[in-house]
């Protein structure tokens, strides 16, 4: 019987939203920084559960968030148990290309998450006092580390790179077809019952075409990243992408969803288990 399959999607902070990437440290550990919430949201009374819309100031981060971002709501998706105050393992997606791949996953399959991360010293202070790049920004990165002979793991890209950092082992996926009609989104009541704290249920209107619900005991961030970029440059894909995934590794591959068949997933999971 074939083993589990996997899909990997790009998430988390980047140079467009909110203007900086999360850090990866010389030993391969990292910080998960969500993107800002870009859509209109319901009032708190409209949420399926009684909780606030989290902001950057609410996140448990090891560096300072710019003052101008502290009150900015975040799109806390994916959510993982015991990360940034969350308790469940869920992910929602409104984009057809990614949602279609996610909808094809079965219980026991994996939804993996990757992000572009910048190499930073362990005591990186953050991207700036007011906005990323402002006076007070800690610009120390790969070049600074190399100049000082800091020991950096050999498989990390020299500046920025794409890295697998977390996964959800699928218990259930709700897709747009689950409402019994031709609507573009998941049935909201079903989504609220299965994943009541997912960020898309706070949006007005609700927009998820797929909602993944994971096993909370088996899902979450890894102890260390698994590189998708080559060790000599972030924009160059390594063999996990070119040999094992559905992606060619050409062009801006680090923005696209990637599918892994059962044999490829087994090898990816071996890499994850070995970290």
Give a yes or no: residue 239 inside a domain.
Answer: yes
Q: Is residue 206 exposed (0-12), middle (13-18) or buried (19+ Cβ within 10 Å)? A: buried
Q: Which residue has the tokens 């009150």?
A: 71
Q: Cα dihedral angle (110, 232, 158, 8), rounded to 10 degrees? A: -10
Q: If residue 190 lies in a helix (H) or strand (E), which one and from where to where?
A: helix 188-194
Nearest to 191 by CA among 180, 204, 182, 200: 200
pLDDT of residue 67: 87
206-234: per-residue pLDDT in tens? 999 999 999 999 999 999 999 999 999 99
Give a yes or no: residue 1 inside a domain.
Answer: no
Give a yes or no: residue 122 inside a domain.
Answer: yes
In the numeric block, which tokens belong to residue 27?
């030993």
Give the Cα-Cα-Cα angle 145, 32, 144 (nearest 5 degrees): 10
Give a yes or no: residue 133 inside a domain.
Answer: yes
What total of structural domains would you count in the chain?
1
Give a yes or no: residue 248 inside a domain.
Answer: yes
Give the count of beta carbons closer than 10 Å to the beta carbon of residue 217: 9
Strand pairing partners for 111? 7, 168
Q: Please list, in sequence order, all residues whose beta carbon lies within 8 angstroms of the beta carbon of residue 193, skipping any fewer than 6 positions away.
A: none
Please tell me the pTM assigned to this model: 0.95
Residue 91 structural domain: 6-274
Give a yes or no: residue 165 inside a domain.
Answer: yes
Q: Cα dihedral angle (205, 22, 84, 71), rounded to 10 degrees? A: -60
State the Cα–Cα distance between residues 16 and 262, nearest whole angstrom: 34
pLDDT of residue 180: 47
Give the count of beta carbons closer than 10 Å to the beta carbon of residue 52: 10
62-103: per-residue pLDDT in tens? 999 988 899 999 999 999 999 999 999 999 999 999 999 999
Q: Which of 4-13, 169-178, 181-190 has the lowest mean pLDDT?
A: 181-190
Query: What is the band of 134 on the pLDDT scale with cuts at 50, 70, 90?
Result: low
Q: Which residue has the tokens 């939804």?
A: 111
């Amino acid at each position: 019987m074939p083993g589990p399959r996997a899909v990997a999607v790009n998430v988390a902070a980047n140079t467009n939203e909110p203007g900086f990437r999360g850090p990866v440290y010389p030993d391969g550990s990292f910080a998960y920084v969500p993107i800002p919430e870009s859509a209109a949201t319901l009032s708190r009374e409209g949420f399926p559960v009684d909780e606030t819309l989290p902001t950057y100031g609410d996140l448990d981060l090891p560096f300072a968030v710019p003052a101008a971002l502290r009150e900015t709501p975040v799109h806390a998706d994916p959510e993982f148990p015991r990360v940034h105050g969350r308790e469940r393992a869920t992910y929602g997606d409104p984009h057809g290309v990614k949602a279609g791949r996610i909808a094809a996953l079965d219980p026991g399959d994996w939804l993996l998450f990757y992000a572009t991360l910048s190499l930073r010293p362990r005591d990186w202070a953050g991207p700036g006092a007011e906005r990323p790049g402002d006076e007070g920004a800690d610009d120390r990165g790969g070049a600074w580390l190399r100049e000082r002979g800091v020991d950096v793991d050999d498989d990390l890209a020299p500046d920025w790179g794409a890295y697998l950092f977390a996964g959800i082992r699928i218990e259930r996926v709700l897709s747009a077809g689950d409402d019994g009609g031709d609507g573009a989104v998941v049935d909201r009541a079903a989504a609220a019952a299965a994943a009541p704290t997912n960020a898309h249920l706070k949006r007005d209107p609700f927009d998820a075409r797929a909602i993944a619900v994971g096993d909370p005991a088996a899902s979450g961030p890894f102890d260390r990243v698994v590189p998708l970029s080559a060790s000599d440059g972030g924009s160059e894909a390594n063999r996990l992408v070119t040999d094992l995934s559905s992606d060619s590794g050409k062009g801006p591959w680090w923005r696209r969803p990637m599918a892994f068949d059962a044999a490829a997933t087994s090898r990816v999971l071996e890499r994850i288990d070995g970290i």
